[in-house]
């Protein structure tokens, strides 16, 4: 297939950007080589102590410098949110580019630095698109796939044809004077101007939080129309080369076929690479440190391979990201996932910044500017008008088939959001001057269009959205009950389709899910993570995590006052808690799109500056696949956070006189037992041989707890630990006691820990006093902070109760925990507070593992 | 789908049904064919076993509940009009605004749809989803790797979220609120099966 398409002369004409290379870079490379030669070749008379070798480092130095400058520009721009609230960052960056370009022009009298297609298509674009694919809200994307494809394919063709033909018509009518442009060249120009640009769309739309359907329609269109653009551009480019006389029906049919080859071939290639990445991350257990690298390298290879085969590179890398996101998030270590997420964002944001700055710089170049009022203004006019017509017409058709029609206002925004950007510019620069005499006019027009759409439409987008009262992205809390219900609805709809004998959307999705679950997950996911996936459950985790986060945050706020008194605790706290928290935060930010109470105040940035947030917003509610990440996150961070709790509780216990205040003690004990049970469950994942020693106890345990028999062995061992902790002293502790530090001692007579019973504690009002309040009551010195805490805290035990199931979560993932257990345990030993600090029943403790 | 032997004449009370449910004649005909197809022993009524014979339904974790939703309490069979009435819940709303906009509560209104879903939980039909009832649904829907404790706490938390009057159960009003607070994220797509354009696929 590919061979055939390559054989046809006009498809393989030039892989999108391959033919053109960066003149500036090449030049400086030559100079570099020269520099090397002079440095080593010439005979020297004495040993130089210091030599100044600018040419030796020029190219990389300049690149690094530009990156730095672009970064600084973004920093300056983002420093003032009053400005960015009105003018989108992309527009400001372009303006900054103007200034920089002016400075360079003033110094050199020639524009040394422009955005060359090679740099743009090979080094700046791929990471942005990979990022888009990787963070793609899959369900939303595929749910609206039909509409997106219609807009991307028919809409783009319509834009190209209408613009080209209209300009040609106007030309014939004499509206733009004497230009040497034929019909085919107009069509070529139309095809490069037709595509909505993903980079510009992301940049503008991330700051206006429109509703997710609208966003995905515009964004999806901008991504997928690349296939169409590439084909149209190549086809018309070839037509221009062939000349009008040689174009016959066969060539046109070839063009149509090439569209399918380019688009589907590119997507398929991306899919294959996505599977490859997923498979690869299954086996990277021992090289976790470099596993994030695979994602980027293979993504980039997907892009380059598609480029090599003259397929749609953008489609390829998008689908690579889309396909692998679920599996790599599940397969990789949680830290690697964060690394990937962040590197992705760093690269994408960096490139985006560079692109806009260079778009600005490119304008300051006398040589490219050719002004033709008629041509430029008509282009602008036609682009707007035909975009509106196209969107409205296609939506009108689509709305007849859509269950939820796209509203009028959404259509306006969609039309208005048809931004052109660097892709169009890159294509324009790639035009062949020999074939197209008016290349510079086309470049200037493209630049004008880009500036107009990005700056003018970008600035007016937000007021327009506000003015039209476009439905915004609803920032809603993802609740568990809702998740459950959505799941139920899904099942019901599938069942109804079954009963009514229809094969519809739900049927297909169900079949796909089944296939995906059964085969793809099997092949692409590690067995350990495959087990622990459950959507409802992961929401449950997410919510728990959120609770825990705010709980910890509150603890920190309160704790900081205490630490003034208690130096050792301060160090301890800082060391452990600080690390964990800062480590946990980014993940939470990435994972939880909703505004989380205590955590949000750490986020000083009121306006999301990264496309990350936008995506996350969009993804909310349909991130079923990504939740596994949270799952892992929860395991790790809660576990560590819990240690902090334990530490505090044991210390606070120090103060509490339990004889006097038994109720408080019960509460504390409950809390501790929950936390400890989590710990024990984790530690209980001991080698089977340890468990077998206590099989008798297992039997006893099983019945009272009402555990069913299909539980895993390790689960029992978890419970078994509880039993020991309950009251037995040293006896029988030699085995398991040595495997985990015995800190569970403060639970004499607490009974078997069972979260199901926890709720019973709630109705007892005295218990509802949070532990720190109790502390405060006993310690008069603490009254003031505790009162503040009392006012501020949303805590009730019912909130805390949510913490209880952490233990359960540990069980579901025992293999995951198993891998983690030894290391953590070691840390435990190290971090174990010095013996005097948690004194309560020391006999037990000593008996435990001394 | 099916033979073309059956026509509108065979369907009892076709006109009334169309009025009541808002299905078009073509829909009704197709559903009738489907009904006859499911009705293996040609009694004109469907039994739970007939539903059970549908392959996909066996894989559906809450398939049994959905089947039982077709049967009014105490009845063993469902005839065609009742069958259609139940299915009418799933007609997309919005398409019948003009046709029977005057009608107070069309069967496919949002409330009725939610009511249908609500009754899937509420097996004892006391108008409340108790914790036990929620737990049953959860148990059906979550894999076996989720332990009983986890289920308990999920159910616990889910009830907490929705339970506004603190009676430890979810009433229909509370149920409705949950869905109103945050719109169903999937609604933009063509969810509902009995959409006119999807029938032919």
DSSP state string for A279-309:
HHHHT-GGGTTTHHHHHHHHHHHHHHHHHHT
Chain A CB contacts of B195 below 8 Å: 403, 504
The answer on A415 and A499 residing in a single domain is no
> Which residue in A147, A139, A310 sits closest to A227, CA to CA?
A310
So what's the pLDDT on residue A68?
A: 92
- CA A596 to CA A591: how far, in whole Å? 11
> Could you report the per-residue pLDDT of A262-285, keeping only the tens digit for each?
888 999 999 999 999 888 888 887
Cross-chain residue pair A498–B161, CB shorter than 8 Å: no
Tell me if A410 is assigned to some domain: yes
Closest by Cβ to B193, choosing from A479, A504, A543: A504
State the smallest CA–CA distance between residue A263 and chain B in angstroms.
Answer: 24
Helix, strand, coil shares, percent, chain A, to 5:
75, 0, 25
State the smallest CA–CA distance between residue A183 and chain B in angstroms.
Answer: 40
**DSSP letter (8 states) at residue A591:** H
So what's the pLDDT on residue A35?
A: 44
Angle A248-A254-A256 (CA atoms, 0-180°, nearest 5)?
110
Token pair, residue A205, equals 């739309």
So what's the pLDDT on residue B175?
A: 79
Boundary-marking domain end, from A544, A566, A600: A544
Cross-chain residue pair A486–B161, CB shorter than 8 Å: no
**DSSP letter (8 states) at residue A154:** I
The answer on A307 and A192 residing in a single domain is yes
Closest by Cβ to B189, choosing from A143, A485, A489: A143
The answer on A514 and A417 residing in a single domain is no
Q: Is A798 exposed, middle or buried (0-12, 13-18, 19+ CB in 10 A)?
A: middle
Tell me if A606 is assigned to some domain: no
CB-based contact B131:B156 (threshold 8 Å): yes
Which portions of chain A are predicted below pLDDT 50?
1-39, 41, 561-662, 684-850
Phi then psi for residue B30, to 5 deg, are -65, -40
Closest by Cβ to A500, choosing from B31, B181, B185: B31
CB-based contact A669:A841 (threshold 8 Å): no
So what's the pLDDT on residue A808?
A: 40
- Interface mutation vs chain B, best among A211, A475, A481, A807, most B CBs within 10 Å: A481
Token pair, residue A369, equals 């500017």
Chain A CB contacts of B87 below 8 Å: 496, 499-500
Chain B CB contacts of A509 below 8 Å: none
So what's the pLDDT on residue A269?
A: 93
Tell me if A189 is assigned to some domain: yes
Residue entry with tokens 């949070």: A770
The answer on A422 and A508 residing in a single domain is no
* Count of A-B CB contacts under 8 Å: 213
- CA A401 to CA A554: how far, in whole Å? 51
CB-based contact B146:A812 (threshold 8 Å): yes
State the smallest CA–CA distance between residue B143 and chain A in angstroms.
Answer: 7
- CA A233 to CA A231: how far, in whole Å? 5
Cα-based distances in Å from A4 to A247, A300, A309, A329: 19, 25, 11, 37
Cross-chain residue pair A482–B182, CB shorter than 8 Å: yes
**H helices present in A333-451, as ranges:** 334-363, 373-399, 408-416, 422-430, 439-451
The answer on A267 and A148 residing in a single domain is yes
Nearest CA in chain B to A212: B185
**SS3 at position A795:** coil
CB-based contact A491:A551 (threshold 8 Å): no
- CA A21 to CA A118: how far, in whole Å? 5
The answer on A240 and A151 residing in a single domain is yes
- CA A516 to CA A404: how far, in whole Å? 27
Helix, strand, coil shares, percent, chain B, to 5:
50, 5, 45
Cross-chain residue pair B159–A811, CB shorter than 8 Å: no
Cross-chain residue pair A485–B178, CB shorter than 8 Å: yes
Residues in chain B: 201
- CA A833 to CA A217: how far, in whole Å? 56
- CA B121 to CA A427: how far, in whole Å? 58
So what's the pLDDT on residue A475?
A: 58
CB-based contact A667:A734 (threshold 8 Å): no
Chain B CB contacts of A484 below 8 Å: 134, 137-138, 141, 154, 158
Residue entry with tokens 């319509």: A158
Cross-chain residue pair B188–A143, CB shorter than 8 Å: yes
State the smallest CA–CA distance between residue B90 and chain A in angstroms.
Answer: 8
Residue entry with tokens 């894989």: B59
CATH number of residue A453's parent domain: 1.20.1530.20
Chain A CB contacts of B141 below 8 Å: 484, 487-488, 491, 536
Q: Is A435 exposed, middle or buried (0-12, 13-18, 19+ CB in 10 A)?
A: middle
So what's the pLDDT on residue A801?
A: 43
The answer on A374 and A336 residing in a single domain is yes
Chain A CB contacts of B185 below 8 Å: 140, 212, 486, 620-622
Give every CB contact of residue A333 below 8 A, 6+ residues apart in sequence.
A288, A291, A632
Largest CA distance in chain A: 102
> Which residue in A816, A823, A822 sits closest to A633, CA to CA?
A816
Q: Transcribe B70-108 into DSSP letters.
A: TS-TT-S-EEHHHHHHHHHTTSPTTTTTTTSTTSSS-TT
State the smallest CA–CA distance between residue A585 and chain B in angstroms.
Answer: 24
Cross-chain residue pair B188–A144, CB shorter than 8 Å: yes
- CA A504 to CA A451: how far, in whole Å? 44
**H helices present in A243-288, as ranges:** 249-282
**SS3 at position B190:** coil
Boundary-marking domain end, from A544, A579, A600: A544
Token pair, residue A665, equals 């003690």
- Interface mutation vs chain B, best among A148, A471, A494, A501, most B CBs within 10 Å: A501
Which portions of chain B are predicted below pLDDT 50?
1-6, 95-103, 182-201
The answer on A489 and A463 residing in a single domain is no
R_g of chain A, CA atoms, integer Å = 32
Tell me if A677 is assigned to some domain: no
Indicate the pairing of strand B128-130 with strand B78-79. unpaired
CA A534 from centre of chain: 20
Say how many CA atoms lie within 13 Å of A370 toward its Cβ. 12
Closest by Cβ to A499, choosing from B54, B61, B184: B54
- Interface mutation vs chain B, best among A215, A487, A494, A495, most B CBs within 10 Å: A495
Cross-chain residue pair B150–A808, CB shorter than 8 Å: yes
Token pair, residue A231, equals 């084909």
CB-based contact A398:A201 (threshold 8 Å): no
Tell me if A498 is assigned to some domain: yes
Token pair, residue A824, equals 């953590």
- The residue range of the domain holding A99 is 92-468
- CA A425 to CA A448: how far, in whole Å? 10
The answer on A408 and A330 residing in a single domain is yes
**SS3 at position A266:** helix
The answer on A509 and A400 residing in a single domain is no
- CA A559 to CA B56: how far, in whole Å? 56
R_g of chain B, CA atoms, integer Å = 19
So what's the pLDDT on residue A90?
A: 87
Tell me if A82 is assigned to some domain: no
- CA A326 to CA A190: how far, in whole Å? 38
Residue entry with tokens 């003032």: A80
Boundary-marking domain end, from A450, A468, A486: A468
The answer on A287 and A223 residing in a single domain is yes
State the smallest CA–CA distance between residue A441 and chain B in angstroms.
Answer: 43
> Could you report the per-residue pLDDT of A418-442, keeping only the tens digit for each?
888 888 888 888 888 887 778 888 8
So what's the pLDDT on residue A789?
A: 41
State the smallest CA–CA distance between residue A327 and chain B in angstroms.
Answer: 19
Q: Transcribe A616-647 into DSSP letters.
A: HHHHTT--GGGHHHHHHHHHHHHHHHHHHHHH
State the smallest CA–CA distance between residue A684 and chain B in angstroms.
Answer: 16
> Which residue in A450, A416, A428, A347 sits closest to A129, CA to CA?
A347
Helix (H) or strand (E) holding A234: helix A212-242
Q: Is A531 exposed, middle or buried (0-12, 13-18, 19+ CB in 10 A)?
A: middle
Chain A CB contacts of B37 below 8 Å: 501
**SS3 at position A210:** strand
Nearest CA in chain A to B35: A500
The answer on A504 and A399 residing in a single domain is no
State the smallest CA–CA distance between residue A390 and chain B in angstroms.
Answer: 21
Tell me if A175 is assigned to some domain: yes
Q: How would you label A143-158 residue by residue, b for 16+ Cβ within 10 Å and e otherwise?
A: bbeebbbbbbbebbbb
- CA A644 to CA A577: how far, in whole Å? 7
For the four alpha carbons of B30, B31, B33 and B37, in that order, the dihedral sign comes to: positive
CB-based contact A258:A11 (threshold 8 Å): yes
CB-based contact A495:A506 (threshold 8 Å): no
| Strand-pair partners of B79 | B45
CB-based contact A435:A363 (threshold 8 Å): no
State the smallest CA–CA distance between residue B123 and chain A in angstroms.
Answer: 15
Tally of structural domains, chain A: 2
Nearest CA in chain B to A480: B158
- CA A327 to CA A190: how far, in whole Å? 40
Closest by Cβ to A805, choosing from B34, B150, B187: B150
Cross-chain residue pair B57–A499, CB shorter than 8 Å: yes
Chain A CB contacts of B183 below 8 Å: 474
Chain B CB contacts of A507 below 8 Å: 56, 193
State the smallest CA–CA distance between residue A404 and chain B in angstroms.
Answer: 5
Cross-chain residue pair B66–A491, CB shorter than 8 Å: yes
Cross-chain residue pair A802–B153, CB shorter than 8 Å: yes
Q: Transcribe A666-723 into DSSP letters.
A: HHHHHHHHHHHHHHHHHHT---HHHHHHTHHHHHHHHHHHT--TTS-HHHHHHHHHHH
Token pair, residue A754, equals 């069972």
| Strand-pair partners of A472 | A210
Tell me if A497 is assigned to some domain: yes
Cross-chain residue pair B37–A501, CB shorter than 8 Å: yes
């Amino acid at each position: 297939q590919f061979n055939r398409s390559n054989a046809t002369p006009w498809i393989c004409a030039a892989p999108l950007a391959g033919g053109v290379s960066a003149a500036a870079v090449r030049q400086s490379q030559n100079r570099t080589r020269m520099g090397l030669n002079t440095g080593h070749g010439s005979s020297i008379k004495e040993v130089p102590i210091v030599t100044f070798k600018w040419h030796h480092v020029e190219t990389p130095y300049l690149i690094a410098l530009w990156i730095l400058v672009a970064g600084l520009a973004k920093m300056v721009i983002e420093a003032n949110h009053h400005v960015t609230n009105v003018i989108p960052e992309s527009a400001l960056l372009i303006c900054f580019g103007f200034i920089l370009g002016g400075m360079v022009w003033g110094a050199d009298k020639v524009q040394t630095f422009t955005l060359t297609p090679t740099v743009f298509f090979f080094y700046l674009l791929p990471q942005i698109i990979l990022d888009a694919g990787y963070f793609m809200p899959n369900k939303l994307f595929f749910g609206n796939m039909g509409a997106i494809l219609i807009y991307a394919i028919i809409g783009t063709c319509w834009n190209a044809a209408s613009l080209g033909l209209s300009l040609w018509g106007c030309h014939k009518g004499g509206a733009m004077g004497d230009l040497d442009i034929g019909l085919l060249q107009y069509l070529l120009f139309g095809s490069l101007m037709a595509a909505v640009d993903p980079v510009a769309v992301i940049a503008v739309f991330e700051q206006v939080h429109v509703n997710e359907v609208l966003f995905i329609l515009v964004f999806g269109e901008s991504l997928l129309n690349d296939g169409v653009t590439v084909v149209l551009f190549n086809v018309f480019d070839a037509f221009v080369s062939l000349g009008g006389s040689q174009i016959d029906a066969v060539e046109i049919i070839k063009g149509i076929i090439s569209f399918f080859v380019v688009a589907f071939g590119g997507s398929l290639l991306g899919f294959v690479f996505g599977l490859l990445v997923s498979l690869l991350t299954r086996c990277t257990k021992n090289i976790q440190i470099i596993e994030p690298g695979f994602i980027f390298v293979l993504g980039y290879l997907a892009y380059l391979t598609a480029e090599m085969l003259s397929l749609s590179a953008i489609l390829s890398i998008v689908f690579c990201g889309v396909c692998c996101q679920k599996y790599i998030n599940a397969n990789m270590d949680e830290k690697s996932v964060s690394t990937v997420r962040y590197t992705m964002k760093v690269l994408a944001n960096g490139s985006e910044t560079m692109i806009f700055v260079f778009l600005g710089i490119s304008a300051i170049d006398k040589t490219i500017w050719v002004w033709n009022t008629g041509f430029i203004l008509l282009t602008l006019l036609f682009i707007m008008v035909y975009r509106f017509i196209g969107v409205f017409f296609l939506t009108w058709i689509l709305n007849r088939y859509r269950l939820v029609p796209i509203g009028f206002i959404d259509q306006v925004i969609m039309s208005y959001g048809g931004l052109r950007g660097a892709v169009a510019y890159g294509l324009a620069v790639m035009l062949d001057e020999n074939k197209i005499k008016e290349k510079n006019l086309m470049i200037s027009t493209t630049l004008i269009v880009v500036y107009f759409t990005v700056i003018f439409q970008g600035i007016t987008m937000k007021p327009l959205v506000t003015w039209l009262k476009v439905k915004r992205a609803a920032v809603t809390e993802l609740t568990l009950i809702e998740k459950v219900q959505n799941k139920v609805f899904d099942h019901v709809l599938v069942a109804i389709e079954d009963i009514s004998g229809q094969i519809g959307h739900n049927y297909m999705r169900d079949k796909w899910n089944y296939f995906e679950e059964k085969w793809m997950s099997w092949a692409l996911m590690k067995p350990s993570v495959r087990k622990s996936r459950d959507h409802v459950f992961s929401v449950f985790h997410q919510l728990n995590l959120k609770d825990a986060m705010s709980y910890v945050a509150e603890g920190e706020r309160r704790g900081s006052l205490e630490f003034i008194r208690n130096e050792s605790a301060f160090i301890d706290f800082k060391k452990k808690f600080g690390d964990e928290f800062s480590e946990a935060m980014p993940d939470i930010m990435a994972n939880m799109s909703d505004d989380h109470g205590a955590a949000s105040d750490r986020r000083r940035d009121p306006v999301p500056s990264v496309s990350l947030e936008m995506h996350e917003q969009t993804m909310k509610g349909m991130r079923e696949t990504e939740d596994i990440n949270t799952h892992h996150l929860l395991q790790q961070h809660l576990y560590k956070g819990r240690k902090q709790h334990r530490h505090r509780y044991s210390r606070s216990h120090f103060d509490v006189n339990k004889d006097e205040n038994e109720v408080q003690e019960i509460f504390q004990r409950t809390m501790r037992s929950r936390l400890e049970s989590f710990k024990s469950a984790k530690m209980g994942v001991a080698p089977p041989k340890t468990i077998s020693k206590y099989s008798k106890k297992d039997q006893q345990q099983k019945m009272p707890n009402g555990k069913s028999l299909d539980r895993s062995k390790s689960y029992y061992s978890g419970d078994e630990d509880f039993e020991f902790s309950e009251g037995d002293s040293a006896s029988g502790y030699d085995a398991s006691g040595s495997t985990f530090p015995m800190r569970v001692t403060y639970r004499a007579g607490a009974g078997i820990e069972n979260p199901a019973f926890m709720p019973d504690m709630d109705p007892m009002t005295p218990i509802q006093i949070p532990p720190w309040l109790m502390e405060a009551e006993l310690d008069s010195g603490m009254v003031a902070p505790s009162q503040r805490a009392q006012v501020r805290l949303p805590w009730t035990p019912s909130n805390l109760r949510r913490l209880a199931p952490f233990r359960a979560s540990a069980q579901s993932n025992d293999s995951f925990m198993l891998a983690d257990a030894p290391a953590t345990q070691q840390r435990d030993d190290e971090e174990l507070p010095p013996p005097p600090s948690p004194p309560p029943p020391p006999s037990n403790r000593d008996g435990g593992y001394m | 789908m099916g033979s073309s032997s059956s026509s509108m004449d065979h369907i009892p009370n076709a006109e009334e049904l169309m009025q009541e449910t808002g299905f078009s004649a073509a829909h009704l005909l197709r559903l009738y064919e489907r009904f006859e197809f499911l009705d293996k022993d040609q009694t004109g009524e469907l039994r739970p076993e007939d539903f059970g014979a549908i392959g996909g339904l066996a894989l559906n974790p809450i398939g049994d509940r959905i089947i039982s939703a077709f049967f009014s309490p105490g009845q063993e069979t469902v005839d065609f009009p009742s069958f259609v009435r139940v299915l009418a819940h799933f007609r997309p709303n919005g398409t019948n605004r003009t046709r029977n906009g005057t009608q107070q509560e069309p069967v496919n209104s949002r409330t009725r749809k939610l009511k249908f879903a609500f009754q899937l939980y509420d097996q004892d039909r006391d108008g409340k989803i108790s914790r036990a009832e929620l737990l049953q649904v959860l148990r059906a829907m979550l894999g076996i790797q989720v332990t009983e404790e986890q289920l308990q706490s999920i159910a616990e938390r889910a009830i907490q979220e929705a339970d506004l009057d603190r009676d430890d159960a979810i009433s229909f009003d509370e149920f409705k609120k949950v869905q109103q607070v945050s719109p169903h994220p999937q609604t933009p797509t063509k969810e509902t099966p009995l959409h006119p354009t999807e029938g032919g696929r």
